[in-house]
Amino acid sequence: MATLSADYYDGKRARPHSVRLSLSPAGDALAVEGEGVDRIEPLARVWVSEPMGDAPRLVKFSDGAHCEVRDHAALAVLLEAGGHRDSWVVRLQSRWGWALAAAVIAVAAVASGYRWGLPAVSEWIAFKLPDKALAQMGESTLAFLDDRMLSPSTLPEARQQSLRDAFDGLDVPNGLGADHQIVFRNSRAIGANAFALPDGTIIVTDQMVSLAGHDEEIVAVLAHELGHLGRRHSLRMLIQGSIVGFVAAWYLGDVSNVVAGLPALLLQARYSRDHEREADEYAAALLKANGISPSRLADMLEKMEQSHAAEKSGKEGGASDPFGGYLDSHPATRERIQALEED
């Protein structure tokens, strides 16, 4: 019977003993012989560690002693003769085919988690958050924006109020309402735009008001923002971004926590497409219920796109346009305009 060499440790001292391992003649026991060691253990009471590449395999005994075996080929012969069989997990791990199958499962699970699980979880959390938290988030965001990018509106108070009245005077069909307050701000940096904060604040820039050719266009944009609010889109985006950022930071933990935040930013943009469509549909329904054509929103979208495109082409390179990204996340503007005009 073939024998193989190994290091034996008794579990009481760190001293290695050079030993030979062999199968007993009956084939049901393992013999260990060498310097100061002579033991025969029934195979049923011997435990062999899983193969792990070049790592030594460990043959363990019930009293805490063990052998380190580095001669993998000879051990395989001995194990074969002893009737040892690797666990099914080991067989999965040792074949590239199974590894590939596992990779497909993992990638599919992660991708579907990102595509469906993440939005669902974020939506659930978004509608669970207490109003107090939303108010706080909205206030701090508005304060942050006021500090850096927005300045007080130059529109006369009467003009502001008439726009608010025009919007609040709309007849809101059942289920389409949402708490909101409209504020006006001047911002050359952002240009013609409107956006909704989680607490129901809708910010409209002076540039947007002057870009509109008709008040109904502003009302249409406000309806669109109210659609975002009703579905809590900005909050959901925020939660999604946080979750992606958290997972990425955990996954890339060793690399760096801040760098890990970057992919999260890049991954976020694609969601807004669905959200834009939902908000457009909401706005179209609200406008039609009030006898306003949804094409008012389409007109406004067109003007905004032209205005931002003109701003962009007026400068060299995109690096100096930090807010251009806002419209970049409204990708299929064409598509949206078409859908609204067909409505």
Partner 1 sequence: MSQSFGTAQAVDFRFSGKGGEYFRIWIVNLALTILTLGIYSAWAKVRRLQYFYRNTSLAGSSFDYHGDPVAILKGRILAVVLLVLYNVAGSANPALGMAVFAMLMLAFPWLAQRSLRFKLHNSSYRGLRFGFDGMVGGAYKVFLLWPAIGYLTLGLLMPVAHQRVKSYQHGSSRYGAGRFGFLAREGGFFGIYFKMLGMLILLGIIAAVLAGGAMSTSALLNLGAAAQEQQQALAGLVVFAMLAFYLAAFLVLGPWFSARIQNLVWNGTTLGEHAFHSRVRARELFVIYLTNFIGIVLTLGLFKPFADVRLARYRLEHMGLNAQGHLDEFMAGRQRGVSATGEEAAEIFDFDISF
Which residues contact partner 1 (rule: CB under 8 A)?
A: 7, 9-18, 49-50, 52-56, 58, 64-66, 68, 89, 92-96, 98-99, 101-103, 105-107, 109-110, 128, 148-149, 188-189, 250-252, 254-259, 263, 311, 314-316, 319-323
Dihedral sign computed on CA atoms, order 29, 34, 35, 38: positive
Nearer to partner 1, 85 or 128 (CB): 128
Contacts of 116 (CB under 8 A, 6+ apart): none
Closest to partner 1 by CB, 51 vs 343, is: 51
Nearest Cα to Cα of residue 239 among 122, 119, 112:
122
Name which of 52 and 81 has its Cβ closer to partner 1: 52
Q: Least distance from C-beta 213 to partner 1, angstroms?
A: 22
- The CB-of-163 to partner 1 minimum distance in angstroms stands at 23
Nearer to partner 1, 105 or 143 (CB): 105
Least separation, in Å, of the C-beta of 36 and partner 1? Answer: 11
Nearer to partner 1, 81 or 109 (CB): 109
Rounded to the nearest whole angstrom, what is the least distance from the CB of residue 226 to partner 1 in the complex?
27
295-313 and 215-230 are packed helices; what angle lies between their axes, rounded to 10 degrees?
90
Instruction: Write the CB contacts of 183 (distance below 8 Å, at least 6 apart in sequence).
Output: 142, 153, 201, 202, 203, 204
Return the DSSP state at 269: G
Please state, in angstroms and rounded to a whole number, the distance separating the CA atoms of residues 341 and 168: 24
Rounded to 5°, angle at Cα 106 from 100 and 109? 140
Q: How far is the CB of 15 from partner 1 (least distance, A)?
A: 4
